[in-house]
Each structure stands twice: as structure tokens, then as C-alpha cells.
């Protein structure tokens, strides 16, 4: 065994558990953003990163800063929200969406899609590209929502760094893209600007999955890699929101490591593509009998 080591004073011990939950409570009370049911390990990691970047010595100091300093608070909010995303992330998923979900959507006279937790919008634009290529975009509305207004503003602008474009192009091609990805943007000084024609049917809206309720009835919900950040109870609550937002026979798409098994809604969907986590809401009995 190694000899006893001096504990680093920057390190958190068990009292920091209390400090973190008290900080999350304070953020909720003052700003209305609710991280109390997020994955604790994730929240802890983000808070500790902020602490060391801002040269603060403990979580209590963060708390007093958050309450006094709105600029700091907004920075911490950015730290705690998930803004990492890619165009056509998981190409296999988008391939399956084209193969299995588009034929279902084609049967509707108009199509409403809810992209929940869209962050900076890369996947909402991906969806718009697919709908355009499938000849459905003119009768489609994509509601792309997030609680992070800063991310939404960026999404609305549709200007992305071209650093990732090579990766996105590979994703797009693997996902069964029919054109060249470069036909959907113009390059400008290290950035790419998404085409105006993709933006026309995307409605960007501030919506918080944790604290807000149903706002539309939709045919397709995409919420990928958001629920992994939530604890089981919160996952279940959000699944209820999704269930109530989908039409009968509506499609739910989750992230490749997410599922319904530990929620109350496992029996309410059937698999469209088990591996790619695409589910179809079962018809409620009354409708089934009528239909």
C-alpha cells in the first residue's frame, strides 16, 4: 500500500455533496433552471471545472458568486447545459431514419417534428436536409427547442466553424445523403453558413424539458443524448411529456445508448429499429377499435 497522502485542499470531500445540492437549489430558486435531477457525476465534473477555471476555492464560493453575479451565473449555466452536437451524429441512425421512418412520414399531409434539446442546431439542420432530399420539406415544420438561449441563438444563425465539416461530410455520406453536403452551405472565412432554404421551416423555441409542458402534437420526436444526463425519475417524467406529445403511431428517436426499458412507457411503443433506438407509439385501444 502507498503511504498516506496529504489531501489536496482543492479536492472535494463528502461535504461537497451537500454544497452541490445547495448550489443547484439556489440556481433553481433564483433563475428557474432545474439541474437537481441531473446525473450527479456529470454536474460535479462541470462544477469542479468551473471552480478551477475561475480560481474559486470551494462550491460555496460558486454559490455566492452565482447569486450575486448574473454574468457568472450565465457562464455556469452554459457549463451545466449540454451543447455538444454534430451534424448527422451516428450515421447509422440517420440511415435507418431514411429507410424506416421517412416512408411513414410520407403518408401524412403535413409533418410536425419536435427536436427536443437541439443545442446549437446541427441535428435540426441535418433533419431539414433529409426532409428536403425526400421531397417532404415543404409540408414539414421542425420545432427545434432548447432551454439554453445562447445555444438557440447560435442555432438560429446557422453559422458553424468549418473545422468539423470534414467529419460531418463523412457522417452525411454514410447516412445515405443524396447530394454533396457542401450544396447546403456557403463557406465564409473559416465558417460555413447554412442555406436559407433549410431554415425556412424550422421554428426555434425556448423550451425546458424539465420544467415546461407539452406545446404541440407531433409526428416525430428526436431527443438524442439528452436523457443520459437525467436521473431515472426525470427520464420518466420527460418520457411522459414525449408520449403525450406524439400522435398515435408517432415516432420517437432516442440516442444510441438510451432506451425505454426503465421507464413506464416501455410497453407503449414498438421497435422500429431496436439498435438505432427508433420507436413507434402504439395505437391506443379506442383508436385501434375504431380504425
Partner 1 sequence: MSYEAIVIGVSSGGMKAMKIMFSLLPKGFKTPIIIVQHISAHSDSQWIQLLNGTYTIDIKEADEKEKIENGKVYFAPPNYHLLIEKNKTFSLTIDEPVNYARPSIDVLFESAAEMYKNKLIEIILTGSNSDGTNGIKRIQEWGGLAIVQDPKTAEAAYMPTSAMAAIKPDYILSLEDILKLLIKLDKQKQ
For partner 1, the binding residues (CB under 8 A) are: 1-2, 4-5, 7-8, 11-12, 17, 39-42, 44-45, 82, 84-85, 91, 174, 225, 228-229, 232, 255, 257-258, 262
Is-contact 203 144, C-beta < 8 A? yes
- Pick between residue 11 and residue 29 the one whose CB is nearest to partner 1: 11
Tell the smallest beta-carbon distance from residue 163 to partner 1 (Å): 13
- Pick between residue 36 and residue 44 the one whose CB is nearest to partner 1: 44
Tell the smallest beta-carbon distance from residue 89 to partner 1 (Å): 8
Tell the smallest beta-carbon distance from residue 78 to partner 1 (Å): 12
Tell the smallest beta-carbon distance from residue 47 to partner 1 (Å): 12
- Pick between residue 16 and residue 63 the one whose CB is nearest to partner 1: 16
- Pick between residue 84 and residue 286 the one whose CB is nearest to partner 1: 84
The phi and psi torsions of 123 (rounded to 5 degrees) equal -80, -25
Tell the smallest beta-carbon distance from residue 17 to partner 1 (Å): 8
Tell the smallest beta-carbon distance from residue 139 to partner 1 (Å): 32
- Pick between residue 45 and residue 270 the one whose CB is nearest to partner 1: 45
- Pick between residue 234 and residue 241 the one whose CB is nearest to partner 1: 234
Amino acid at each position: 500500500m502507498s503511504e498516506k497522502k496529504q489531501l489536496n485542499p482543492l479536492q472535494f470531500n463528502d461535504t461537497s455533496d451537500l454544497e452541490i445540492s445547495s448550489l443547484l437549489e439556489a440556481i433553481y430558486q433564483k433563475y428557474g433552471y432545474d439541474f437537481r435531477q441531473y446525473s450527479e457525476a456529470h454536474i460535479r465534473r462541470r462544477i469542479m471545472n468551473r471552480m478551477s477555471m475561475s480560481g474559486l476555492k470551494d462550491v460555496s464560493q460558486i454559490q455566492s458568486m452565482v447569486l450575486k453575479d448574473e454574468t457568472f451565473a450565465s457562464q455556469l449555466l452554459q457549463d451545466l447545459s449540454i451543447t455538444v452536437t454534430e451534424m448527422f451524429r451516428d450515421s447509422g441512425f440517420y440511415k435507418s431514419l431514411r429507410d424506416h421512418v421517412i416512408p411513414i412520414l410520407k403518408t401524412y399531409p403535413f409533418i410536425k417534428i419536435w427536436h427536443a434539446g437541439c443545442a446549437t442546431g446541427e441535428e435540426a439542420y441535418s433533419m431539414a436536409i433529409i426532409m428536403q432530399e425526400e421531397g417532404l420539406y415543404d409540408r414539414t415544420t421542425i420545432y427545434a427547442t432548447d432551454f439554453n438561449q445562447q445555444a438557440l441563438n447560435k442555432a438560429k444563425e446557422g453559422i458553424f466553424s468549418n473545422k468539423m465539416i470534414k467529419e460531418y461530410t463523412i457522417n452525411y455520406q454514410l447516412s445515405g445523403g443524396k447530394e454533396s453536403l457542401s450544396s447546403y452551405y456557403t463557406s465564409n472565412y473559416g465558417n460555413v453558413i447554412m442555406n436559407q432554404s433549410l431554415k425556412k421551416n424550422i421554428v426555434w423555441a425556448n423550451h425546458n424539458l424539465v420544467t415546461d409542458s407539452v406545446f404541440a402534437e407531433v409526428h416525430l420526436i428526436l431527443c438524442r443524448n439528452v436523457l443520459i444526463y437525467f436521473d431515472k425519475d426525470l427520464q420518466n417524467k420527460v418520457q411522459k411529456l414525449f408520449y403525450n406529445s406524439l400522435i398515435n403511431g408517432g415516432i420517437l428517436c432516442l440516442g444510441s445508448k438510451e432506451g425505454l426499458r426503465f421507464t413506464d412507457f416501455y410497453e407503449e411503443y414498438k421497435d422500429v429499429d431496436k439498435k438505432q433506438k427508433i420507436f413507434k407509439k402504439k395505437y391506443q385501444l379506442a383508436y385501434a377499435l375504431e380504425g
